[in-house]
Structure 1
Amino acid sequence: MVQFFDEIPPFLVDWIRAQQVFWVATAPLSEEGHVNVSGKGVEGTFHVIDNHKVWYEDLTGSGCETISHIRENGRITVYFNAFEGPPRIARLFGKGTVYEFGTPEYNEFIPPEKRKIPILSAWYRQSEL
């Protein structure tokens, strides 16, 4: 059953934190562009600030497509699904902001070995049980 929430409920925060893998999806405004979906799965890289805001550590990867899409239009979706226990998925839809390495905003969040921090202000939350 699909449920929608005005904020990320505590039970979903606990479940999200327990997941070992999540996906981030972004897309450019251009019709010639494509949706970019990046799998993420390093333990401890996804963080919940409060019931409306999350962030993840963007480690080294094959490119910066996610970051360029966020800079262009801010749209981002984070997707979680259960690999253990009962079936469940959760999507966080929102607007992203990128904090670059070496900026004061960046330094407030994470250690120096990480590369960028996408911050998502989730404006729409969905869970399917």
Structure 2
Amino acid sequence: MAKQFEELLPEHTDFINAQHLFFVGSAGAEGFVNVSPKGMDSLRILGPDRLIWLNLTGSGNETAAHVLENGRMTIMFCSFDKQPLILRVYGRTDVIHPRDDSWDELVDQFPDYLGARQIFDLDIELVQTSCGFGVPYYDFQGERDTLTNWASKKGEEGLQAYWTEKNQLSLDGKATGIR
């Protein structure tokens, strides 16, 4: 049932663009594996072999630590309506911070979210689709505004302090590169 592709095909791009939710998986050589759900308007496909996603401030920063260690990442999309399908994108990624030269060029592709802390630039090595027959139906009701409201209340200075306090080390004690 699973099929593999060297790059994103137009139908893969259409499928990804129709999803409201995706999952990011990463792991270091040792320690915890991280899987994070992502939403909002935070992913862009730049070509059949490249995509970027904007990482907003959260309680942890595991993905950044894993990427600094080995660059591996998997992004998974699931259809919760219509035709069942799971699409995984595997590759190597670079983490880009607001201090980096390419930040301004890439961040302009997203809404102006307060609390944007990194962009992950994924070089796609493999695309795999599978059936998704076991994925349940769910209805999209809308985006939550909780994260953007939280960031607004913190303000830029409060977010910087939060990054220093909560986002510099992973659960495994590995540096995230945020500072």
Deviations 1:23-81 (A, max 9, x none): 00000112xx0110010011x21110000000101011111110010010000000000
Q: Measure, in 2, the Cα distance between the counterparts of 1:38 and 1:71.
A: 17
Percent same amino acid among aligned pairs?
Answer: 34
Select which of 97, 100, 122 maps to 1:120: 122
Q: Any runs of at least 4 consecutive aligned residues in structure 1 with deviations exceeding 6 A, and if so which?
A: none
Deviations 1:71-105 (A, max 9, x none): 10000000000011111000000001001113221
Q: Measure, in 2, the Cα distance between the counterparts of 1:46 and 1:103.
A: 19
Normalised to the residue count of structure 1, the TM-score between the two structures is 0.93
Q: Measure, in 2, the Cα distance between the counterparts of 1:8 and 1:115.
A: 27
> Which protein is richer in strand relative to its size?
1
Select which of 34, 37, 40 maps to 2:38: 40
Amino acid at match of 1:84: D
Aligned-residue RMSD, C-alpha: 1.1
Q: Measure, in 1, the Cα distance between the counterparts of 2:36 and 2:122.
A: 15
> Which protein is richer in helix relative to its size?
2
Amino acid at match of 1:4: Q
Amino acid at match of 2:120: P
Count of equivalent residues: 126
Once structures 1 and 2 are overlaid, which stretch shifts more, 83-92 or 103-112? 103-112
Q: Measure, in 1, the Cα distance between the counterparts of 2:100 and 2:26.
A: 24
Once structures 1 and 2 are overlaid, which stretch shifts more, 109-118 or 50-59? 109-118
Structure 1: 5+ residue runs without aligned partners?
A: none
Q: Measure, in 1, the Cα distance between the counterparts of 2:55 and 2:104.
A: 14
1:74 matched residue in structure 2: 71
Normalised to the residue count of structure 2, the TM-score between the two structures is 0.68
Q: Measure, in 1, the Cα distance between the counterparts of 2:4 and 2:119.
A: 26
By how many angstroms is 1:4 displaced? 0.6
| Structure with the greater alpha carbon radius of gyration | 2
Q: Measure, in 1, the Cα distance between the counterparts of 2:14 and 2:99.
A: 31
Select which of 90, 94, 99 maps to 2:96: 99
